[in-house]
Amino acid sequence: MPLPKSLPPDDRRGGFSGIETWVFDLDNTLYPHHLNLWQQVDVRIRDYIVKFLDVTHDEAFRLQKDYYRRYGTTLRGLMVEHGMKPDDFLDFVHQIDHTPIEPNPALGSALKELAGRKLILTNGTRPHAEAVMRRLEVHEHFEDVFDIVAGELEPKPMPQTYERFLARHRVDPHRAAIFEDLARNLEVPHALGMTTVLVVPERTREVFREDWELEGRDAPHIDHVTDDLVGFLRSLSMPTASTV
């Protein structure tokens, strides 16, 4: 079912008037889900497991999804369960083709008009994040990237990852908003006081993922849902009735 058009900020739960820092997930948040860029990473993760554990592709797929669900990332599961060193894994799985991503001047304009700091918080690597931002041509709008290495290889949604992020960048969670494509990654930020925005694929509430990844969409820790990130950001820059 299509989402309603974005409403003016005053008509949403949890206003944005005091927000000073804007935090964005990267994959499937800043660029459209249908590009399936992360699917390339997904395949390379599976290929790595096949070689690292000497298992079949079917077994690699099972382990990949099991670890992702239980540990937040497959990387973390491989480290905990098999003592894997992370460097080769991170380098291998992020060697993907970024060319499906095209410049998004509308997103760049919306970010430019958004007053405050902008930061990336991702379970991917900094080189991958920088490649994506440069393809989108939005890199100049972001102050920094907090990646899986900065998080000491502990991924979202682990509480300590958000705490490290907030401390490193001196972010007041009560004056910060966070945009994510997975509802489970917004539970801790909401508890810390951040305003949460779930970004779903364009023109639909349906996400073609496993059922557990969809859980929590209507939970109290989701303040806002949008399938139009650019439109949502533009509405936050619009003057309210009291200021015109």
> How many domains are there within the chain?
2
The answer to whether residues 169 and 198 belong to one domain is: yes
User: How much is the pTM?
Assistant: 0.84
pLDDT tens track for 71-130: 988 999 999 999 999 999 999 999 999 999 999 999 999 999 999 999 999 999 999 999
4: in domain: no
Give the residue among 188, 225, 208 at the shortest CA–CA distance from 38.
Answer: 208
Indicate whether 54 and 168 sit together in one domain: no
**Residues 17, 135: one domain?**
yes
Residue 231 lies in a domain: yes
Residue 3 covered by a domain: no
Task: Tell me: do 180 and 231 sit in the same domain.
Answer: yes
By the 8 A CB rule, do 235 and 7 touch?
A: yes
Q: Is residue 1 part of a domain?
A: no
Q: Quick one: 77 and 170 in the same domain?
A: no
6-24 pLDDT, tens digit per residue, is: 444 433 445 798 999 999 9
Residues 147 and 216 in one domain: yes
Which tens digit of pLDDT belongs to each residue from 168-213? 999 999 999 999 999 999 999 999 999 999 998 775 544 444 444 4
* CA 205 vs CA 27, 129, 214, 227, 233: distances in Å: 18, 26, 10, 8, 19
Q: What domain range includes position 67?
A: 37-93
Same domain, 83 and 160: no
Angle between helices 74-82 and 37-53 (to 10 degrees): 10
206 token code pair:
């349906």
* 160 located within any domain: yes
* Claim to verify: residue 114 and residue 84 sit in the same structural domain: no
In CATH, what number is assigned to the domain containing residue 228?
3.40.50.1000
C-alpha–C-alpha distance, residues 17 and 73, integer Å: 34
Gap between the Cα atoms of 238 and 244, Å rounded: 10
- The answer to whether residues 133 and 112 belong to one domain is yes
DSSP secondary structure letter of residue 139: G
Q: Which two tokens stand for residue 40?
A: 């390339």
Span between the terminal Cα atoms of the chain, in Å: 34
Q: Within a domain: residue 23?
A: yes
* Domain containing residue 70: CATH number: 1.10.150.450
The CA distance from 64 to 59, in Å, is: 8
